[in-house]
């Protein structure tokens, strides 16, 4: 039997607005990075850059020893790794599109061709759920402008909106090289440098929206003893008014997940919906301080003029690059249909 033809892929054209459909969310992804900045970083630099595709192929060999990832078909530098992220969001996009009846729109702050797109009405007008992926390195210096903040705040006044802020990890923030090595040995990923700090843009967004949370560390999840399965979440289902964790025992097994530290503890602004147990067998300053779990899913309920919800969860939970599970697919569906 012949392989069914996939739909034709398009590029380099303007977004076509999606019409509002009652009960059907329009979901958009915003990659808060400059693709040229990230892909043009020096591959000889030890820290604060993504791996090249060549490095990925060496470390996970022979996973990408296929014609579609060869030099004639796929970029071998840092740009190739960025494209892997795009490829591995396709499962989420497909599921969300089927669940909502709307295609998932994908935007970048600065795309491959150098076109810049801030978050404004061009994105927000036909979006009900906006996922902001914070995979920009701190050294890029990207920040949300006052105009963007005003646009987002105005959008969040609309009933039914949901903003998902997803900064990634902050590995090796210290000048102490011994601690950097301890962090590295804890997560155990040879593709992550001793210092890799994210995310300038989403941190500025959190600050401007007065959300008392900071992304910290990069921590390896615990496994169910005697297996290779990720340990279940510690879920606070009585707080989960949106039903995000319904039939969701776990999220993804990513080697260096951020801890979303709540910087005040009044218990009113931020609700911790789920925590992820951390590997206790690998030393780390976080666990040495007596901590056993990271905050992995947060909810900031509507408040005052803000009618929309704000969530925080790591962007890797929307990528299949790190072994997405059936549980993860249920989380996607819950988010798409909440």
Taking alpha carbons only, the member of 198, 164, 272 closest to residue 38 is 198
Q: What is the pLDDT of residues 160-215, one digit of tens each?
A: 999 999 999 999 999 999 999 999 999 999 999 999 999 999 999 999 999 999 99
Lowest-confidence range among 63-72, 153-162, 264-273, 310-319?
264-273
- Give yes or no for a contact between 197 and 232, defined as CB atoms under 8 angstroms apart: no
Domains of the chain: 27-337 (3.40.50.880)
pLDDT at 324 > cutoff 70: no
Q: How far is CA 63 from the centre of its chain?
A: 23
> What's the pTM?
0.96
| DSSP-based three-state secondary structure for 201 | helix
- pLDDT band (50, 70, 90) for residue 312: very high
pLDDT at 326 > cutoff 90: no
The pLDDT mean for the chain works out to: 95
pLDDT at 322 > cutoff 80: no
How far, in Å, CA of 251 to CA of 233, rounded? Answer: 8
pLDDT at 1: 59
Mean pLDDT of 47-64: 97
């Amino acid at each position: 039997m012949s392989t069914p033809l996939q739909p034709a892929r398009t590029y380099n054209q303007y977004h076509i607005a999606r019409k509002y459909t009652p009960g059907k969310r329009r979901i958009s992804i915003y990659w808060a990075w400059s693709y040229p900045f990230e892909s043009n970083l020096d591959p000889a630099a030890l820290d604060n850059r993504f791996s090249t595709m060549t490095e990925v192929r060496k470390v996970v060999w022979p996973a990408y020893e296929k014609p579609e990832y060869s030099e004639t078909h796929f970029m071998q530098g840092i740009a190739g790794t960025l494209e892997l992220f795009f490829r591995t969001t396709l499962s989420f996009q497909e599921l969300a599109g089927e669940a909502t009846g709307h295609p998932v729109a994908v935007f970048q702050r600065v795309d491959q061709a150098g076109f810049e797109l801030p978050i404004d009405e061009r994105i927000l007008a036909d979006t009900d759920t906006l996922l902001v992926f914070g995979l920009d390195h701190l050294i890029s210096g990207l920040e949300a402008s006052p105009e963007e903040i005003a646009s987002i705040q105005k959008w969040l006044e609309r009933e039914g909106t949901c903003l998902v802020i997803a900064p990634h990890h902050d590995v090796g923030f210290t000048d102490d090289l011994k601690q950097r090595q301890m962090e590295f040995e804890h997560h155990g990923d040879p593709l992550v440098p001793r210092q890799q700090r994210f995310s300038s843009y989403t941190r500025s967004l959190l600050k401007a929206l007065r959300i008392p949370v900071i992304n910290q560390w990069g921590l390896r999840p615990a496994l169910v003893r005697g297996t290779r399965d990720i340990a279940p979440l510690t879920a606070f289902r009585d707080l989960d008014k949106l039903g995000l964790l319904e039939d969701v025992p776990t999220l993804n097994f990513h080697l260096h997940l951020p801890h979303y530290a709540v910087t005040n503890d009044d218990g009113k602004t931020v609700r911790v919906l789920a925590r992820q147990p951390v590997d206790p067998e690998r030393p780390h300053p976080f666990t040495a301080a007596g901590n056993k779990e990271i905050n992995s899913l947060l909810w900031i309920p509507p408040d005052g003029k803000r009618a929309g919800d704000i969530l925080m969860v790591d962007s890797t939970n929307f990528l299949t690059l790190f072994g997405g599970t059936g549980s993860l697919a249920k989380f996607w569906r819950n988010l798409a249909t909440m």
